[in-house]
Chains A and B, each alone.
Chain A
Amino acid sequence: MSQLFAVLFDGFAYGMLLFLLSVGLSVTLGLMNFTNLAHGAFAMVGGYVTYSLVELAGWPFLATLPFAFLITAIIAAGFERFLFRRIYEAGELNQVLFTIGLVFAASAVAAYFFGTVHHSVDLPAYLTGFIEVGSVKLPAYRIFLVVVALVVTAIVVAGLEYTRFGAMVRASVDNQKVARGLGLNVNRIFALTFALGSGLAGLGGALAIDILSLDPSFGFHILVLVLIVVAVGGLGSIWGSFLAAACLGIFDVAGKYFIPELGAFLIYLFMVALLFIKPRGLFGRR
């Protein structure tokens, strides 16, 4: 029983990591219909920022996280302003291939600077051990992940629900034409949302170093997982992404634990079936 609980919790924590990695893409895809497969590459940037600061500059792990967010967000804003903006009207296939090209190039650049080896970071002692909850021992880092994810979710949801900027984002997701008609600067809203969403991916990338390993192919590895979360959850839906990420995490971890030979197969099967029945995902509006 406690073993089952530990596995489920492990999966949930993994799901929360996936949520952090995906939520930005869900919002930007819902907002601009821009199919950005380079989202995982931005997560990789965050990972390497934290790796560099911890291992090369000697910073404490926690202090690097805001920078993983910020630096990724700034880089993403640059790409949005100078490259992505040119292909918003270029059609899905061009967007897919352009951003895949970017992942290729980014992975090569990462290999040039950091080598092709796997990297890890030294975590502070209070994040490495186990914490006893009732009769179960849970890994401290997983608990930390869940807490961070819940805090981020709260901030994102509150930001979308209660701020002026959030209201503008929601209006633009709902109906871009109407939003433009009301005089909202949808381009600027999108640029900012894109930067923030990519920043979250950067944060997720930093937090992912200890769970998935960090190497130049990171952007590819998480891409499929991120896309599954976004597609199944439904574009532009925070709660859809949350639910999809949690389910995917639990399913993946529990599947690998209990039915290792079928785990991944079942996930793809489930996704294909769900998208066939509900092409807009669980909570997609468009």
Chain B
Amino acid sequence: MDPHLWLKRKGRISPYEVAFWPIVLVLPFWLFPTYLSLSSQIAITALFCISLDLILGYAGIISLGHAAFFGIGAYAAGLLSAHGWGEPLSGLAFAAVVAAFAGWIVSFMIVRVQHLALLMITLGLGFLLVELANSLGSFTGGADGLQGIDTWKLLGVWKFSFWGKTAYAYSLAVLFILFLVCRRIVRSPFGLTLEAIRENPDRTTALGAPNRAHLQKIFTLSAGIAGIAGALLAQTTETVSLESLGFQRSAEIAIMLILGGTGRLYGAILGAIIFMVARDQLAGMNPQYWYFWIGLLLMIVVLFMPRGILGGLERLAAFGRRR
């Protein structure tokens, strides 16, 4: 097969993709207007999940503390707004820079350790940050959450209203744009290099690749995107709580990614949708039972669908085509 054609085909936009985005735009607005605030939360979570997919699914870095960057972004945007500057887009940019800078600092540690030490360092940094935010209560609002956030009109035109139309359109637009950026990244030479490092880091070294520099770059980028997701949450809900930094959020995001399927971007989005909708629908249920089902689902996915729901669907489709 012609190599150019093959690579082009691998990178091209599929009809499913073209269908997907209009549906997620239209569905909440016209069919489920009462679910607009949930829809914004899903879009924000999907963006956060994509940021984890970049480091975990593509570069193979396991992190149990990625919410640290989500939370840093949320606090950065929240504090900026609480101190008098509520313009949303510049708030996002500010949060992205702060979170990416934090990610860059942390990346020096991350790329030097593996296995249990990596798990524990990411976990420990997450806890460290929660403790820090808690003890800086006068600055962050501590356990009560950060108050006094006021998000100005989007582009000076659209007000963030109670019904959340602006919030959803805004979150979805940011998700879509950053998704396109990430899609571009993973299909670039850099994306290929990351996949090679994930598959076999010793071999990439033997081919002359500076692994650590590559990994630091994607970690910084991923932290910045996680920060933007956090900032979106702060701006649309006009509050930031300690939970935005916490282990639970880090664990949940990893669960969503595994459910959806790693290393394919859409897996992150699908995982976020399924997880968030299921939790919302089962909210009336005793939370203990929610944990039971999510626990069971996790075990089943790991045992029987190692490539996640999307990976399973792809296999099914491939099977169907062959018949």
Contact = CB atoms under 8 A, between A and B. Distances in A.
Q: Touching in the complex, A and B, CB below 8 A?
A: yes
Contact of B116 (A29, A83, A105): A29
A261 B128 contact: no
A231 B64 CA distance: 15
Contacts of B302: 87, 90, 94, 97-98, 101
Contact of A102 (B64, B255, B286, B299): B299
Interface in B211-230: none
Contacts of B125: 268, 272
B113 interface: yes
Contacts of B254: 93, 96-97
Interface residues of A, number: 46
A101 B121 contact: no
Interface SS of B by simple majority: helix
B72 interface: no
Interface in A127-178: none
Contacts of B286: 111
Interface string A103-140: 11111110110001000000000000000000000000
Interface in B275-295: 286, 288-289, 291-292, 294-295
Interface of A, helix, strand, loop or mixed by DSSP? helix
Is the interface on chain B under 10, 10 to 19, 20 to 34, or 35 or more residues? 35 or more
B84 interface: no
B115 interface: yes
Nearest to A235: B116
Nearest to B110: A276
A264 interface: yes
A265 B295 contact: no
A211 interface: no
B112 A276 contact: yes
Nearest to B128: A268
Contacts of B124: 228, 268, 271-272, 275
A260 B204 CA distance: 47
Interface string A224-236: 1001101100010
A86 interface: yes
Contacts of A241: none
A269 interface: yes
Contact of B117 (A94, A102, A280): A280
Contacts of A111: 286, 288
Contacts of A269: 128
A105 to B, nearest CB: 3
Nearest to A228: B120
Contacts of A272: 109, 120-121, 124-125, 128
B62 interface: yes
A276 B120 CA distance: 10
Contact of A231 (B120, B127, B128, B251): B120
A231 B298 CA distance: 25
B309 interface: no
Contacts of A11: none
Nearest to B294: A104
A268 B298 contact: no
B123 to A, nearest CB: 7
B290 to A, nearest CB: 8
Contact of A93 (B62, B291, B292, B294): B62
Interface string A18-42: 0000000000010001010000000
A275 B124 CA distance: 10
Contacts of B62: 92-93, 96
Interface in B246-286: 247, 251, 254-255, 258, 262, 286
A86 B255 CA distance: 19
17 contacts: A86-B303, A96-B62, A97-B298, A98-B302, A100-B251, A101-B294, A107-B291, A108-B291, A224-B127, A227-B120, A231-B120, A264-B131, A265-B128, A271-B124, A272-B120, A275-B113, A279-B117
Interface of A: 29, 33, 35, 83, 86-87, 90, 92-94, 96-98, 100-109, 111-112, 116, 216, 224, 227-228, 230-231, 235, 261-262, 264-265, 268-269, 271-272, 275-276, 279-281
Given A93-B262, A101-B294, A227-B123, 19 more contacts: A90-B302, A93-B254, A94-B258, A96-B64, A103-B295, A104-B291, A104-B294, A107-B288, A107-B295, A109-B292, A116-B288, A262-B135, A268-B127, A271-B124, A272-B121, A276-B112, A276-B113, A279-B112, A279-B114
